[in-house]
């Protein structure tokens, strides 16, 4: 069987920046073990698969190790493929996912807007062992900690976030999907990094799902509903975030890098 494959750099307007995701359109769903094997072979933080159904699209996301319930950059990448490579004539896409219906819009300025459920975090008190692992993993004494599937760690400033040299083995032992470190930005509202070794992603370049947790937190802290965010990975990426009731709208560019054919 031959399948088309695209690789898209998300949350950037420059190739070789942002977060690369593989996108594979399907006529029908393949066995889960095949989808997982393809994602593992791609070895990107996410591979998105979608199947068109009537006027909507069923969308799923896989890391090299597991299927996930929500992924921002691969949703943006899938929308880029549908809008441009597949020449979708509407400016709105409805994705049916494990996280419900996600609405994606093509904006007049060339960006893509994705509409995700907000996932507010709550304060958490780590155990002594967890605190020790976190200090070892980040190489610094963390500030306040919050959680909602991921652990969110406040840092003193942008430099502290940028200078983290993670101990992945220590972070992998923490009982969270991922570790998000964040601080107020120097030239934007807030910055972050995301480490997800438990799902096979040591550091994710730009993480849309993390911003569904970060945006409610920073909106309250900064008293503003519209924020400019930057993820400080080596590749880097920019996300405009807007909190609307219980939703987070994320806007960014996507760049078409590669397309080809896989043989299975």
Active-site residue set: 46
Q: Say how many C-beta atoms besides its own lie within 10 A of residue 54's C-beta.
A: 6
Could you tell me the two tokens for 57?
């699209």
- Between the CA of residue 182 and those of 24, 71, 82, 189, what are the distances in Å? 32, 19, 32, 11
Interhelix angle 208-222/72-80, rounded to 10 degrees, is 120
Contact between residue 12 and residue 18 where contact means Cβ atoms under 8 Å apart: yes
Contact between residue 111 and residue 241 where contact means Cβ atoms under 8 Å apart: no
Q: Say how many C-beta atoms besides its own lie within 10 A of residue 137's C-beta.
A: 23
């Amino acid at each position: 069987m031959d399948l088309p494959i695209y690789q898209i750099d998300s949350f950037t307007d420059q190739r070789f920046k942002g977060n690369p995701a593989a996108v594979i359109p399907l006529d029908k769903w393949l066995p889960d073990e095949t989808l997982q094997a393809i994602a593992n072979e791609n070895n990107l933080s996410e591979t998105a698969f979608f199947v068109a159904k009537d006027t909507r699209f069923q969308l799923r996301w896989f890391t090299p190790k597991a299927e996930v319930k929500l992924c921002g950059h691969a949703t943006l990448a899938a929308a880029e493929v549908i809008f441009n490579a597949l020449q979708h004539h509407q400016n709105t896409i409805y994705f049916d996912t494990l996280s419900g219906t996600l609405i994606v819009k093509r904006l007049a300025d060339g960006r893509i807007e994705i509409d995700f459920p907000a996932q507010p975090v709550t304060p958490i008190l780590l155990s002594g062992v967890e605190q020790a692992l976190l200090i070892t993993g980040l190489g610094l004494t963390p500030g306040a900690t919050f959680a909602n599937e991921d652990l969110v760690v406040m840092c003193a400033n942008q430099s502290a976030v940028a200078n983290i040299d993670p101990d992945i083995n220590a972070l992998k032992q923490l009982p969270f999907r991922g570790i998000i470190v964040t601080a107020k930005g120097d030239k934007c509202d807030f910055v972050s990094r995301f480490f997800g070794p438990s799902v096979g992603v040591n550091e994710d370049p730009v993480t849309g799902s993390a911003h569904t947790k970060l945006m409610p937190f920073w909106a309250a802290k900064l008293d503003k509903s519209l924020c400019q965010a930057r993820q400080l990975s080596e590749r880097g990426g920019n996300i405009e975030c807007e909190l609307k009731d219980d939703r987070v709208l994320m806007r960014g560019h996507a760049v078409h890098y590669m397309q080809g054919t896989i043989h299975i």
